[in-house]
Amino acid sequence: MKKNQMWVCAGEKLRELRKEKNLSVHKVGRQLGVSGNYISLIERGKTLPGESMLIGLAEFYDIDKQELFDMYGRIESEQVPNIIALPSSIRKTLNQISKDKSLSNEEIDEAIQALREMAEHLAKEKER
C-alpha cells in the first residue's frame, strides 16, 4: 500500500472513531491542542501526524497506540515513553511544536526533553 493510501485509510478510521463519539473535529482539536482544521487534514489523509499527536489520538480514542502507529506505517522512536510520561497539557504544547515544519527532528527531540524536565520540576514543586 502506498504511503498516501495508508494515511487516507488511517484517517478514515480516526474519522469513524470521532463520529462514534459524536464529536466535531474542532472539539477533538481543542482536546489535543491543535486546530480542528489540522484534525480534518489528518482524517482526510493530507498530513502525517507526529508521534505526540499519534499518542494523543490513541489515548483520546482509547485505542492501542501501536495499532495506530502501524496504520501509518510508523515505528515508535525512543522518545515515545518520554512523550507518554508528559502531562496532557504539556503534550498539547508538544503537538503544536511538532507541527512546526521549520524544526528538525533533533530540535523536536530537544523540546520533548525540555518539556519533560519542566514537568518533573513542576511535579517536585507540588510535592513540597
DSSP string, 42-83: HHTTSS---HHHHHHHHHHTT--HHHHHHHTT----TTHHHH
pLDDT score of 125: 72
pLDDT score of 3: 61
- pTM for this one? 0.64
pLDDT score of 9: 93
The 10 Å Cβ neighbour count of residue 47 is 15
Residue that has been written with the C-alpha cell 514543586 in this structure: 125
Domains and their CATH numbers in the chain: 3-127 (1.10.260.40)
pLDDT score of 116: 72
- pLDDT tens per residue across all 128 residues of the chain: 566 788 899 999 999 999 999 999 999 999 998 999 999 999 999 988 988 899 899 999 999 988 998 898 876 766 667 676 777 777 777 777 776 778 776 787 777 777 777 777 776 776 76
CA-to-CA distance for 27 and 41, rounded, in angstroms?
Answer: 15
- CA neighbor of 17 nearest in space, from 52, 50, 64: 64
